[in-house]
Structure 1
């Protein structure tokens, strides 16, 4: 897929530099958008042979929405997203323990949390790249030596198993399992019951995603390997949890091992020309729903710093990006991992008592 050599909006056709972005997920595509808008010539390398449109829903926090606005993508997000305003934490018997702080988030930010189907967000990013022009996306590219890439800037957006990260920062930090697997899917009806239900060593979540459908996820011990085992694990939970699992075709379910990047990286940049974004930099468990948000914030911060400095000022720009994003993203990752331990505890009575103490 080659969009030619069109100029980005506001650049007058002048290419500020050359960049290779490794990975065509949310973080990589958003980075390509930001760089192209700044006038850079961009190539995106993706090992998959086609755009990755699998997946269910992303929660987009107001801070990430603002980043998308700065990237020129806010309207495209809002066209397909739905607000997330009413969600509860429950016990398996259906008793409500607490409300998620969605109202407080909306009041403080002046806008609600939004939910969007992952394929819709990917398509919006691809459409913006197509509109901007001057970006080549090379699918089916298996990168082995990122240090050999001929570009002013190399961006590693290649996920938790990042080749770019290993090449520039070594293998001390890498994927670590947390002992659970997540099964995710989309039910073909609206449940009207949203939030998470926490049991012993497992939990189940439901969110809106678009009219007539419900996004769901079931997190269970890693030994759970079949759809029937998942259904059995939640068979006696409150309505509509068993119904959601019974009425969603297992052929459409996605199973993945929950992992995080450990230990935390000492920096997100290297060699004055390499930067990491998204899961390549700080892969986290999904408990806080911040994976896509942090990737978008990374992309916007990196491209803003690079646009201000230009190719000649790239080392300083990358240092500024690292200073802005590393500690913030790593705090979110640590918080998400801590919440995972809390939610999947084998002592649910103590956990539930603590949750009931939370402010309403």
Structure 2
């Protein structure tokens, strides 16, 4: 017997097949939603070489039973820390200190590996590539939302706008908002085979520039760089040559990693962040998450982590469907204060890391050295309130089921303090 329309599963359309959109799709699917993911690109091959998942995002993924799969890819063992371009250590920390403080490791992995883990948790046919999505109607308590796709219109009880930093859906529902603004610097990212010499994970701060080098589980290295530069710039020859000009005289293994890159294999992107908060992270039946809602500088490595948190909290609040419009204000109440606090902290860290004056850099380095002498836990304090976050709802981690908090009734008043 066919199911009556009143008993059909709730329907969600997710615009964007990145980490946040796919996590939302998995979480909603596990709560009984019928989910369609519309991805503009022709494939799910992710833009971006690597991603770091801190314990907060891992705990969010525990909700959908995927946290242990991510932790299996952890490669950071032993020491790490912050250096200057000559190779001198400014501060040291360790993977053990991070585990003790935040309850888990930092996991660096290929974005493609994370995308594979997420898509494997979805039914076949959930993701449609080459399918740009446009919001035709945000819906309300009396009518569904409507999304336009290449093969026609889709009605939805919920639309998840996970369409990135240039989100067209954000512009549709909040047309007066200025959107993200240029942060004043650009970034480069690359994954290369590990050089012969061994090294510990590190980030290096120079004058108006920084570099990061991190080993991955498969024997490759994820490296990233940033430098203060006008927006829209590109190298006249290629970006590997540009990295050699800027970082070729920095400490080992930086030059070797640059030379190991293919000339066309270096990704370059200007950095933008959401300096002015959105009025809300929802409108009608539309919920925004990730860069579409709160683009942030990468200096804390939290952009993807916060998108994963968004996805899990959104699924928690909308539950198995029902009165979605009434439930979405609780999502904004949970996420807007927290994510904008992280945006502001990342902005402050960016200013510190990319100082330009010689005197200011010398003072910064001396302060970092002095603070680090108090112990590795001191260096990690900057992630208090971020990496120790715990998701709402029941956690379905491999090997154990535990309850972190009962499902709450939707709130209509936002929190005023970050959690």
Pair in the same fold by TM > 0.5: yes
- Which deviates the most, 18-27 or 80-89? 80-89
**1-side partners of 2:342 and 2:315: how far apart?**
21
Match of 2:206 among 188, 199, 205: 199
Q: Which has the larger radius of gyration?
A: 2
SS in 1 for 2:79: coil
Unaligned 5+ runs, structure 2: 1-6, 138-145, 148-154, 376-419
Q: Does 1:142 find its partner at 2:132?
A: yes
Deviation of 1:346 after TM superposition, in Å, equals 0.8
* Counterpart selection for 2:102 from 88, 105, 109: 109
- Residue 367 of structure 2 is aligned with which of 341, 354, 358? 354
Partner of 1:66: 59
Match in the other structure for 2:234: 225
Secondary structure of the residue aligned to 1:87 is strand
- 8 Å Cα contact 2:15/2:160 also seen in 1: yes
| Conserved? CA contact 1:183–1:217, under 8 Å | yes
Structure 1 residue 38, shift from structure 2 partner: 0.5
C-alpha displacement of 1:146: 4.2
Deviation at 1:141, TM superposition (A): 2.1
Report what 1:312 is aligned to.
Answer: 322
| Aligned match of 1:244 | 257
Q: Which has the higher helix share?
A: 1
Aligned residue for 1:286? 298
Separation in structure 2 between the aligned mates of residue 341 and residue 144 of structure 1, nearest angstrom: 36
Tell me which stretches of 4 or more aligned residues in structure 1 moved more than 4 Å.
Answer: none
Tell me the distance in 2 between the aligned counterparts of 1:108 and 1:33. 29
Aligned residues: 341
Gaps of 5+ in 1: 1-13
Query: 1:335 and 1:84, CA in 2 relative to 1: closer, same or farther beyond 3 A?
Result: farther
Match of 1:299 among 298, 307, 311: 311
**TM-score, length-normalised on structure 2?**
0.77
Q: 34, 51, 65: which is aligned to 2:44? A: 51
TM-score w.r.t. the length of structure 1 is 0.89
Assess if the C-alpha contact under 8 Å between 1:100 and 1:195 holds in 2: no
Q: CA RMSD in A?
A: 1.9
Pick aligned residue for 1:210 from 198, 204, 217: 217
The structural deviation recorded for 1:101 is 6.7
Task: Write the distance in 2 (CA, Å) between the matches of 1:83 and 1:15.
Answer: 46
Cα shift at 1:15: 5.0
The secondary structure found in structure 1 opposite 2:208 is: coil
